[in-house]
Chains A and B, each alone.
Chain A
Amino acid sequence: MRSQLLRERINPTLGAITFYHSHAIAFESVVKIPCGRTKLFDFSPNLLRFSSQSSNFIGHRRDHSRPLRLLSPSPALSSASFRVRIPISSAIVLLSTSAVPYSTFPFYGRWLELGFGFAADLVAGRGARSRMSMHERKTIDLEQGWEFMQKGITKLKNILEGLPEPQFSSEDYMMLYTTIYNMCTQKPPHDYSQQLYDKYRESFEEYITSMVLPSLREKHDEFMLRELVKRWLNHKVMVRWLSRFFHYLDRYFIARRSLPPLNEVGLTCFRELVYHEVKGKVKDAVISLIDRECEGEQIDRALLKNVLDIFVEIGLGNMECYENDFEADLLEDTAAYYSRKASNWILEDSCPDYMLKAEECLKREKDRVAHYLHSTSEQKMLEKVQHELLFAYASQLLEKEHSGCHALLRDDKVEDLSRMYRLFCRISRGLDPVSQIFKQHVTAEGTALVKQAEDAASTKKLEGDTEFFCLLSLLQFFFAFCWIVCIIVGPYRAAIYSYSCSSIFACRQSVGGICDPTMAASNGFLPFFCIHRWHLFLHLYFLSAFPCLLFPRFLSFSFFAVPSSELFVPPDSSCIQICFPNKQIFFTNSAPNFLNHGFLLVFSSSSGFVEAEKRDVVGLQEQVFVRKIIELHDKYLAYVNDCFQNHSLFHKALKEAFEVFCNKGVAGSSSAELLATFCDNILKKGGTEKLSDEAIEETLEKVVKLLAYISDKDLFAEFYRKKLARRLLFDKSANDDHERSILTKLKQQCGGQFTSKMEGMVTDLTLARENQSSFEEYLNTNSQANPGIDLTVTVLTTGFWPSYKSFDLNLPVEMALPISLALRTLCCVSSPDVAIDFSSSASSSHHNICLSLVIDTLCARVVKCVEVFREFYQTKTKHRKLTWIYSLGTCNINGKFEPKTMELIVTTYQAAALLLFNASDRLSYQEIMAQLNLGDDDVIRLLHSLSCAKYKILNKEPNTKSISSNDVFEFNSKFTDKMRRIKIPLPPVDEKKKVIEDVDKDRRYAIDASIVRIMKSRKVLGHQQLVMECVEQLGRMFKPDFKAIKKRIEDLITRDYLERDKDNPNIFRYLA
């Protein structure tokens, strides 16, 4: 608009340029004249110099209001472009051109392109110049001037009112401006500035009172709003025009007196007169419109927007009007509205519905703000709504019985939970109760799992019960069948009866017998031929079946068909042959033999089933428990990540919840142990879990995550180490990569200290494997040293591995076995490469050696083997003591049983025990113990594995399922099996107690060290602080008991590390 004005004013016919002062600071412009050269205007305070190559224009500027003459027109300038540069103190604002005598002025007939660096009001008056130029102007008095102005104002009013009136021409406008200009520039007392300023205001007031207010008063509601909007728009136009007419006032009079500028005066008039009168009505009307919209009506949003803009604009950059006169009430109204709504909804709707509505409401309010409210209201509005809808009813909503947060979590309503998060994350502390409920829920779920596992553990026997019933019904069928058969097939009757009855005996035996899983395998049923009549069979059947029902246990029927055994046949003639007396033959007549074999199949398969099941149930329920915990964690971690946007509050809640039930043990096993067992099950060969590599990795990752919740990490480490040792030494580890990967994960989570020992163990094993060849080479080159037995030795670094009893395993094999019997043991020894790894770090450390013997024949020369290896080891390292741990060794021995020769894979202990039978046929318990030089525990364990478990290499008298010190053992030469090579497991000692004791001891050291560390740095510290810091330091590994800490403090006081402060008994001092 302005540039348009400019172009109009700088008309081709103009000839002079008038510069006026302005408030602007700097001004630079390029005046372009076609085909011109650049000239400079130098603007010194009173002189304008126009320089060009051909001539100088010098203009005197006597008065800021006077036109400046460009004196020397030159045709040469006709196509010059020049730059106007004006000092900072003054700038051209008003450019007035008028005809000058020099008709050849170069601008003539051209458009001037003036680019001003800032917006300038440009008013030029050609006509004004001619009439009111400095020289010919007459003094105008107020009446006369105002009359002229009044005309203009009336015209403006008429235009605004929409009366027919011609538009303002430039000339009219110019005239009005010039009139004001002149009236203000007259010398006092004819300077009417003040009067004009007042008149200016009065003219607004007059218009408002006469026109605006009446028209507003007669309208109501929406119409009133429309009228107001229209009036406001008009008023703004009027202010714009009038302030332009009176612009000269603004520039000098007002600036000098610091009065409110014209624009403001105009708007203030409206505010004082109109706004203050109607604001109440307007506000009510607007709010009622908004209310109608809330109820779903369509309203004129544009109108509301315009009305609300008035509230904003009327403040002249200050939001007070909007805030006080409108917003406050709107907020109040909104609050009341939603409060009403919420109180209904909370009663009627379910939690998800309520949340849906609440979210919808919030969205609508946001929408509303976007459409017609001021943007500053958004936050306030939303806060109000949130307060009314959510904050006020938070607890009621979250705890709704059938649909509250609990129910949502229970029913996995992911959508609703996400919504809940979205809603409650906005209100202050709104998430606290949600996270609390979340925590409670997870805790409850987890605790339920723990309980379930507990129940499973206690009803394990009941489960066995059901299996027993299955078996019983199977038996019933079978007997019924037999019975029918026996009626039909007379000759076989007796045999069938006898078999049935014997099985019942077996039944009864195992039912009333031992619950130890390894002992459950039944081996004996002697009275085969004692029953010959079928009614007796029935009688006995029920007799034995009832106790079975009353005392349910796992049944295992292990029917050993023991054919007449001859002796061990040595494959190698160099070996001494040891003969065994013939054993009793059970079935000699052919008919029962047939039955025997037939039945045996049935029975052994069912027994296998039961046994397998039972073994699984022990491990399985722990396995299932950990699995379930992992699943639970996955599920709720997903909740935290997805529904709750990874909010830290929920992570914390999840952590706390898991910490609660993850630290509860199940059936006497701590969770640390369960986790370790779980890992073991995954990592070992033939574990119950059959997983792909990826699945294993993933599961391990999760287990390690779970570990974070367990406070007794040291206990886990100890159990894990034990199991790892077993896996590594007995070659049960399924995959080396997995072993290493879980160690890496553990390291990341718990630090290097946590895994250093385990890593050392794995490394030991790797080294052992790598250097197997080294020993073999040694043997090859030193053929005289070769003991003639394959020997594999694994050297273990002391400290890395769990401690094993080594002293009482003192070479029982060669001690007990006289060499004169020419027992030859082939041992092959492999040692780890200690050259760099060990010698540098632990040149004097002791190494435990786990001895694995592969005994080709029933001969042993263990001493030789040990010696050979020791010599070999000395060549590689010095100053190292080797301690042999026979409890960890395994041997392969060939047993020459009557049916066939079999290879038995046994532990070194078992081998030693078996080798005793090379010397004598029968050995009593006491003899065996004396010869083996082992403790009762070990002897019982290994004899049980040989005589009472699945494979009965030894016959025991009396034939019971437990070992007592009066038993006598005899080689079972009739033993056989389908396989040529069998492994006879020796169940590991239950080390739980020892592990817990070890951990307890380690903890004592750890607490001591921690206290001393703290006190060393703090010197003087209060008891409670000391305890807290200690707990904090150790918390990464375990949660120390306060009492334990106190006890350690006491101990440290006794040992003069600490003393109690003399004045304050609650403060300790460190004694350096």
Chain B
Amino acid sequence: MRRSSTRKSGSAAAVNPSSGSSYAYRSASGKAVSKEVERIDNLFYTYADASSGLIDPEGIESFCSDLEVDCTDVRILMLAWKMKAEKQGYFTLEEWRRGLKALHADTISKLKKALPELEKEVARPSNFLVFFSYSFRYCLTEDKQKSIDIESACQLLELVLGSQYRLQVDKLVEYLKSQRDYKVINMDQWTSFLRFCNEINFPSLDNYDEELAWPLILDNFVEWMKGK
């Protein structure tokens, strides 16, 4: 009964970098731009693994320490979002260029300065939803994986929503860890968490309507909350 997701692989193909396109990009850009690109590329190669041509988890670690940011910090996730990074723990050159160009940063110090700006950008409501769903997709490491386990979901929730909705996240995480009905969280449930935090008064929950299309997991959560 399980359908294979053709859409996801399609979109992945569209974003995947190819050397040909990067070449065309470079040759078409102006002189100043090409200089900037060069610096960005150089920065990339300081962290990239020579054999794979990617920034691997090790590279990211050293990148983070240079940036003086913890590698589990939400800002790294934001950076990954800006780069539209496909695979958790890896940056390709294409992604790197995309992200750093957009931030107008070609050195670590510039990047450091750009981070608060990035945070503000992400915090914008229109962007936040995109970022929020991106964070979920970013956690899907396996092919055809559609859901993440409760444990990771809780961590991610803390990371992404923790600063904004402390109360909700605490309760939700407590509930998710105590319940036994669900072992994994899917995209729909994930996005509905954000919607829940945005729309529902907490902790009164007075405007929550079970009749609406909230996922059952939130119905259960509300029930659990009310029971307490």
Contact = CB atoms under 8 A, between A and B. Distances in A.
B195 interface: yes
Contacts of B189: 1050
A1065 B3 contact: no
Given A1053-B188, A1065-B192, A1065-B195, A1046 B215 contact: yes
B211 to A, nearest CB: 6
A1046 B5 contact: no
A1055 B3 contact: yes
Residue from A1059, A1066, A1068 having most chain B Cβ neighbours under 10 A: A1066
Nearest to B1: A1055
A1054 B213 contact: no
Interface in B180-196: 186, 188-189, 191-192, 195
A1065 B213 contact: yes
Contacts of A1022: 213
B212 interface: yes
A1054 B146 contact: yes
A1056 B217 CA distance: 19
A1060 interface: yes
Contacts of B14: none
A1072 to B, nearest CB: 11
Interface in B10-61: none
A1057 B3 contact: yes
Contacts of A1053: 186, 188
B39 to A, nearest CB: 38
A1053 B191 CA distance: 13
Contacts of A1068: 213
A1023 B213 contact: yes
A1023 B212 contact: yes
A1056 B3 contact: yes
A1023 B219 CA distance: 14
B1 A1050 contact: no
Given A1024-B211, A1065-B192, A1065-B195, A1054 B216 contact: no
B3 A1050 contact: no
B92 interface: no
B135 interface: no
Contact of A1054 (B188, B191, B192, B212): B188
A1050 B181 CA distance: 13
Nearest to A1049: B213
A978 interface: no
A interface bracket (residues with beta carbon within 8 Å of B): 10 to 19
B1 A1060 contact: no
Contacts of B195: 1065
B147 A1060 contact: no
A110 interface: no
Nearest to B184: A1054
A993 interface: no
B228 interface: no
A1065 B3 CA distance: 23
A1005 to B, nearest CB: 10
A1046 to B, nearest CB: 4
B188 A1050 contact: yes
Nearest to A1050: B215
Interface string A1038-1072: 00000100110110011111011000011110000
B202 to A, nearest CB: 18
Contacts of A1056: 3, 5
B219 A1054 contact: no
A1043 B188 contact: no
A268 B106 CA distance: 111
B2 interface: yes
Contacts of A1067: 213
A354 B29 CA distance: 101
A1068 B216 CA distance: 15
Contacts of B215: 1046, 1050
A506 B1 CA distance: 60
A1047 B216 contact: yes
B2 A1066 contact: no
B186 A1054 contact: yes
Interface in B204-224: 211-213, 215-217, 219
A1046 B3 contact: no
Given A1054-B147, A1055-B1, A1060 B216 contact: no
A918 to B, nearest CB: 50
Contacts of A1050: 186, 188-189, 215-217
B186 A1046 contact: no
Interface string B146-169: 110000000000000000000000
Nearest to B2: A1055
A236 B192 CA distance: 89
Contacts of B5: 1056
A1068 B214 CA distance: 12
Contacts of A1047: 216
Closest 3 CB pairs of A and B: A1023-B213, A1046-B216, A1066-B213
15 contacts: A1022-B213, A1043-B216, A1046-B216, A1046-B219, A1050-B215, A1050-B217, A1053-B186, A1053-B188, A1054-B146, A1054-B188, A1055-B3, A1060-B188, A1060-B191, A1065-B192, A1065-B213
Given A1024-B212, A1067-B213, 15 more contacts: A1024-B211, A1043-B216, A1046-B215, A1046-B216, A1046-B219, A1047-B216, A1050-B186, A1054-B146, A1056-B3, A1056-B5, A1060-B191, A1060-B213, A1065-B192, A1065-B195, A1066-B213
